[in-house]
Amino acid sequence: MMDERETITLYDEEGKASEFEVLGVVTVEDNDYAILIPMDEEDEETAYIFRIDTDEDGDEVLTVVEDDEEFEKVKEAWEALCEEDFEEDYDEENLEDD
């Protein structure tokens, strides 16, 4: 069965649309952050971090994380989460092989 991945379309200042795959969401210091990778770029290693904010109408909006310290905290939290997932997957595989 094919793995359905969530995608999102973002628009730049000129109105140009870009498709992103949502890798996941991580919470750091009571803020949620979306981790996105572009679907049209050749470099699949590039990920972008956006803070999930709420606008005046109550709608969720993505805000670019420009603060280096905030970015590093989110990056570290995401890497730790990925390591935990990897370890859980590895443990499950080893249990099945026994």
pTM of the model: 0.75
Can you tell me the distance from the alpha carbon of 10 to that of 68, in angstroms, rounded to the nearest whole number? 22
- End-to-end, the C-alpha distance of the chain in Å comes to 25
Asked if residues 2 and 23 have their Cβ atoms less than 8 Å apart, the reply is no
Confidence of residue 47 (pLDDT cuts 50, 70, 90): confident
pLDDT tens sequence across 64-95: 999 999 999 999 999 998 887 665 555 555 54
Is 2 a domain residue? no
Length of the chain: 98
Q: State the total domains in the chain.
A: 1
**Domain of 20, in residue numbers:** 7-97
pLDDT of residue 43: 61
28: amino acid identity, one letter? V
Is 1 a domain residue? no
Is 74 a domain residue? yes
- Percentage of residues of the chain with pLDDT beyond 90: 60
Name residue 33's beta-bridge partners: 26, 51
